[in-house]
Amino acid sequence: MATETVKLTLRLPADLHQRLTDLARRERRSLNEQLVRLLETHPDVEAMTMTMTETLADLTRSMIDEIQWYQARAHTRGALTAQEQQERAEYVASLPEPLRSIADALIREGRDSVLRALGPTTIGVYADDEAEVAIATWSVPAEVAAVVAEMEV
């Protein structure tokens, strides 16, 4: 991979600077290396290397599968473990908008909630299969609505 040198000045709040410095020290990196590592591994930066259409369609499928898995797990056990709740929260936090908000709504509404495509660029979350009125709706890229329509969740 080719690298390019870029010089910049960052003004960081003292607490953020301290957290980054501590993290870099724990991971045995310089502050510069740590900042580059965070940029390289952040999902939004990684997504810039793919086409937006591929990324959103794949992320939408993955998000639906993950949320359904956690909901089924909670249902069969009665609840998620603290670790599973933490993992789910971290996963949802890593999602770009509007997928993060959609995942939050599905989790909030529980196991019976369903996601439906309402048009070529609109989706909604419903309390259950019988509900006629959406709890929340989103205007989304066509790729996201197409995945929702194909998955019928």
Q: What is the mean pLDDT of each run of 10 residues along the chain (153 residues)?
A: 71 84 87 83 59 70 90 89 93 90 90 90 91 92 91 69
List, in order, residues 6 or more apart from 12 with CB less than 8 Å away: 20
* Residues in a beta bridge with 117: 123
Name the pTM for this structure. 0.62
CA dihedral 62→63→69→73, nearest 10 degrees, is: 150
